[in-house]
Structure 1
Amino acid sequence: MSITKFETMKRFKKMYVFMMLLLVSAFTYGQETIKMTVKENKVPCQGVAPMECLEVKYDNGKDWELFYDHIEGFNFEKGNRYEIIVIRTKRQGIVPADASSYLYKLKSIVSTKPVTKANGIYNTKMILTRLNGKTINSKSVYMTIDPTTETISGKSGCNNFNAKYKKLNSKNGIQISAGAGTLMACNDAAMKVERDFLDAIKDKKYKIVKKKNVVQFKNSKNKTIMEFSIPTQNDLWSYIGKNDWKLISLENVGQDYGRASIKFNIAEKKVNGNSGCNNFFGSYTASGDNSIQFSNIASTRMACLNEEANKTEQKILSFLNDKKLRFDVADQTLNFYLDNKLVMMFGVAK
């Protein structure tokens, strides 16, 4: 029995549709579209090295979760709360141990809502300076109060912590609930400060008093139990300028990078350092939104015989070459971000 031209075309069409379905299935394997709410501030977290993470809620979730990955195409700006649609794709093949199992790509931004500060004490980093009448000089205990979620989070010295609070009827009165934290250990002195601080915020009621850049937590007898400072830009740059900074992590890979380092001359807005093999020098401009741009970067021209050191040098110089970066200081690290991805982390050189 002969096959008509019509039947041949019909079969060809069915085969074409089948092949297209196979191609679409191959391209979308392990892929899904999800809705995420992104909190307006990043928080300290521990990945391969200490870093800052976004906090997100998935779909209609109630609890904030740490987000360690990068969302391609999403430019996060501090102070804005986002609702976004993201395409999440399962990685194929062998996934490195320090990499995520998924790739994330922005599909659309549903909404962007600026979150304003109230009374100057919310959504801002506060560093503990006095506790139970004693001066605290370490700058390793700090916290941020989030009025939207009624949470307090930060670092208690050695560990990250998070606690709930509720507002009381009295003006600027709050009651802090018992919180949770990580369980890393450190030296005895730091652990004692941590225990005293956590005890001071556990199930306690306080009246908060702000005087310029100083925030005091007073008990029912009007005694100041905790005192915090809100760093100014001058404080921040004074701290950056007085220290030598040694590279400890590059593109989230923490290791010993030898001589790689950076030093700032605050008075002259100059910068110098070592990129792995060669010394470099140049200038920089910084703005109040914690952004920085390096310019006129030049370096010596010694041959780099070590392949790893050569790769390190190329990466460092590329980040310092007229790119606008964001920076922050957390504990004793100076961190630089490109498109909200942590690219360089420097620690205070001992």
Structure 2
Amino acid sequence: MGDHSLRLKAFVKLGAFFREFISSVTQDKEHVISKDGWISEFQTAITLASQQNPWFTEEFQLQAIENWGEALKEESLQDWLAAYPRANGEPKRVALIMAGNIPLVGFHDFLSALITGNSVLVKLSSKDKILFPFIAKYLEDTEPSLKDAIEFTDGRLTDYDAVIATGSNNSARYFEYYFGGKPNIIRRNRNSVAILDGTESEEELKALGRDIFDYFGMGCRNVSKLYVPQNYQFDKFYESIECYSDVLNHTKYANNYDYNKAVYLMSEFPILDNGFLLLKEDSSYSSPIGTVFYERYRTKEELNIKLEQDKDQIQCIVSNSTAEGLPLGKAQSPGLSDYADGIDTVEFMLKITHK
């Protein structure tokens, strides 16, 4: 179907634009404005997004854009889609309810729906309302047939065939009640964990800092929990992440860190503290901003059994033993086939078009 190859080309062009934008911003911020209308408009959108939501710093927006610029290369997209049969059913209208915890967090769902020939009805999070409409405008300009395929709504969702909804555990209950009658993917809270064994180098622990501090730790792929051996000392860990101390210059992060520290101290919980990251021994996975939970394990075998039991709460695992998960530092660099919650969205799209 010609439509699919045109859409593929549109996303390849978007990837090239992302890469061009990143290089123009990093090379010469002053001359970005005059060079290219799209580039200056994108810069304006990014500035506006960081004003509207202070968690979306320009640095973290650029990181998300750079990651997608790398993913949206023709060869990568073709390799990704080659694993699936060609979509040849009736295109469907897919409602996408986006989260807003990190910039462009719903982009993979947006891409999966459109590249399989479907149309999208997008309900954006109030925290991430600026970047997607700009991207849609760029795609529609590149490939005019997409104009009828992308719609944004603030109101109630109507006239759709399937739903992908991302939210908290509380909103998931509402989503299941509301969208249960349609084909759906409903995502809940998940967190990511790191397994340390004490042999990590300073470089590896520094890389782990990215898994913790990227996007201020607000993504489901961010590490919010460390598993460490019984006798583990955190001195080397804290020394290795010292380079992230400027996270405290961000007011909202600093406020959260101070608040959580005060709560723990008043409750007389024992905590470790380096001045910008609290460590608290805790069996849960979801730690508040400015805090990482940790738990000590006796054997890797016991730990693996526990993680297998809790797999519905875990998005990804990082470790210096790749047999156990991703390398340290790679949690926030997913590939096209790294599906959220392990649910294959392309397969989902192909199933609904065949009904």
Fold match (TM-score > 0.5): no
Larger Rg: 1
TM-score, normalization by structure 2: 0.22
TM-score, normalization by structure 1: 0.22
Which structure: greater strand fraction?
1
